[in-house]
Each structure stands twice: as structure tokens, then as C-alpha cells.
Amino acid sequence: MIQLIQNIINGLIIGGTYAMMGIGLTLIFGVMNVVNFSHGEFYMIGAFFLFSTFGLLQIGYVPSIIISLLLVAVFALVVERFLLRPMRDKPLDNGMILTIGLSILLQNVALLIWGGTPKNIDLGMSMSSIEIGSIVVTPVRLIIAVIAIAVILLFGIFLQKTKLGTAVRATFQDRDMASAVGININHIYGLTFIAGSLMAALAGMLLAPIYVLLPTMGDQVNAKAFAVAIAGGLGNFPGAIIAGLLLGVAESLGSAYISSGYKDAIGFVLIVIVLVTKPRWLTGDK
């Protein structure tokens, strides 16, 4: 029993980062109509930027995260402005091919800069576990969970409660009309791509201390982000959160009770189940 709860908690912690990945992907698709195959590469560069700033600047984990996020934001802005904007209003596949190309490009540039040997980030943080009752969590995982929850909540509040967030939702629902009430769509697109990419990059930064870093690390995560975004209903923000957490738990339970070899297949099983059963929270019907 305790083992089960332990597995579920581990799953939820990782699931929080999957939710972040999924939110980013679903938001970019929903608002911008871009299927972003390079989403996983933003996760990857997030992790590598952190590796470099943390290693070079020696200013600690959190300041390094902030600087890395700023760098990713600038990069995302450039990608949106100069690569995605010309593709706007073109058929969906143009954008797909572009982001697939970008994904390959980024992987290879990362290979050039950081090389192909696995890297890791040693936080030098105590690895002694925190015990809550009989449940054991390492401090790093606790930090991951707290930041993921905080970011998702803050972002949800931003979308629901602020004027700019409402404008993002309005653009999502009716782009032309949003423009006709005075919203500058270009700003909303830029903002959306930056926010979505930062979600991916931050997920990469959070997981960097517990995983190894490789230029190809985005591939697998990208597949998971798609699983989460599709299972949650494309463009559906709460759906992505639920699907992300579910995927994390399913993977954790799957590797504990079935076989860890099947861990990465679970996301696809989840997509199939969801697409076949089409639950209400997915279709949005009342």
C-alpha cells in the first residue's frame, strides 16, 4: 500500500513536468495553429542552457534558471518572429515541416556545442531524503513538484484573470474578431510562443538535475508532450494538466508493476484509450 502511494507520488511529480510540456504544446497549437515538433528541443536547450549557466557562472540553481529562461525567451521570440510568422495563414503542413527542420537543426547545433557525451548537473544538494510519514521524497523532487505546481497555477490565473490572458483566450476562440476589437494579434502570437516554449524549457531545467543531458533528449519528451496534448484535447488547458499527471502516474505504476521497459509506450496507450473512449472533459461537452 505504502509502496503504491509512493509510486503515485513519484508519478505525480514527473507528471507535473509532463503537464508543463503538454500545456506549452497545446497552447501553441490552440492559439497559433502551429503543430510544434520542435517543442522537445526547447526542453533540451532549457536543460543545456542551465547546464552552461550553472557551470560557468557559478551563481546557484535558481539564478541560473532565471538567466536560462531569459535566453530561451529571446530565442523563442526570434523563432516566432522570423520563422513562424511567415508561415502564418499557410497550410498547417508548412509549419509542421518547418518545426521538424528546426528540431533537427537544434539537435545538431546542441551536438556541436555540448558534444554527445551525457552531461549531468550536480546541484550539490543533500540527497538525503525527506520523510513524510512513510513516504520518501528527495529534496530535488520536492522542488520540482513545487515549482511545477506553482508555474501551472500562476499561468492558469494569468489566463483566467488578467486582461492579457483573456485576450489570449479571445484570440484562441476567434482570431479575426480578436483583431477587430483592437487586440494586436502579433503580440499575442509572440507571447504565446514564448510562454509555451518557456514551459518546455523550464520542464527541462527542472528535470536536468535528475536525468542525464543529451542533444537528443527532446525526442522522447516530445512524444510525451504530444501524448499529453492530444489526450487532453488539443487546445484544452485543463485537459493537458490532467493528462500530464495521469501519464506520470501511469508510467510510474507501469514501470513498478509491469516492466520499466514499457514505460515510454504508456503515453501512446493513453492516447489510444482516450481517443477511443472520448471522455467528456476532452470534448468539452456538458
Partner 1 sequence: MLKLENIVAKYGKVEALKGISLEVRPGELVTLIGSNGAGKSTTIKIISGLLKPESGQVILEGAKTTGLPPYQMVKRGIGLSPEERHVFPKLTVEENLQMGAYIVKDKKVVRMGIDRVYALFPRLKERYKQLAGSLSGGEQQMLAIGRALMCGPRLLLLDEPSLGLAPIVVENMAEIILELKKTGLSILLVEQNANVALRIADRGYLMDTGTIVLEGNAKELLNDDRVRKIYLGQQGKEECQGA
91 binds partner 1 (CB under 8 A): no
CA torsion, ordered 180, 181, 182, 183, to nearest 10 deg: -90
Site stretch for partner 1 (CB under 8 A), options 11-19, 66-74, 175-183, 237-245:
175-183
Candidates 3, 108, 129, 184: give the one binding partner 1 (CB under 8 A).
184
Shortest CB 227 distance to partner 1, Å: 25
* Nearer CB in complex with partner 1: 122/176: 176
Cα four-point dihedral sign 99, 100, 104, 107: positive
Taking the complex as a whole, how short is the minimal distance between the CB of residue 189 and partner 1, in angstroms? Answer: 13
Closer of 52 and 166 to partner 1 (Cβ)? 166
Identify whether the C-beta of residue 96 lies closer than 8 Å to the C-beta of residue 197: no
Give 187 or 272: the residue with its C-beta nearer to partner 1: 187
CB of 229 to partner 1, least distance (A): 18
With vertex at residue 269, the alpha carbon angle to CA 199 and CA 257, rounded to the nearest 5 degrees, is 95
Distances (CA, A) of 146 to 59, 166, 204, 239: 21, 26, 15, 20
The C-alpha cell at 100 is 521538424
Q: Please provide the size of the chain in residues.
A: 286
Report the C-alpha gap between 264 and 245 in whole angstroms.
Answer: 15
Task: State the nearest-atom distance from the C-beta of 177 to partner 1, in Å.
Answer: 4
Distances (CA, A) of 34 to 55, 137, 175, 229, 235: 34, 38, 14, 13, 11
Pair 238, 159: CB distance under 8 Å:
no
- 182 forms part of the interface with partner 1 (CB under 8 A): yes
Is 184 or 260 the residue whose CB approaches partner 1 more closely? 184
Select from 67, 123, 185, 256 the one that contacts partner 1 (CB under 8 A). 185
Among 27, 159, 178, 270, binds partner 1 (CB under 8 A): 178
Burial class (CB in 10 A: 0-12, 13-18, 19+), 15: buried
Residue 45 CB, shortest distance to partner 1, in Å, is: 32
Q: Does 126 bind partner 1 (CB under 8 A)?
A: no
How far apart are CB 263 and partner 1 at their closest, in Å? 36
Q: Which of 148, 151, 183, 250 binds partner 1 (CB under 8 A)?
A: 183
> What residues between 145 and 174 interact with partner 1 by CB under 8 A?
163, 166-167, 169-170, 173-174
For residues 101 and 180, what is the distance between their CA atoms, to the nearest angstrom? 34
Partners of 131 in the β-ladder: 136
Query: Quick check: 220 binds partner 1 (CB under 8 A)?
Result: no
* Number of residues counted as binding partner 1 (CB under 8 A): 17
- Residues of this chain that interact with partner 1 (CB under 8 A) are 163, 166-167, 169-170, 173-174, 176-185
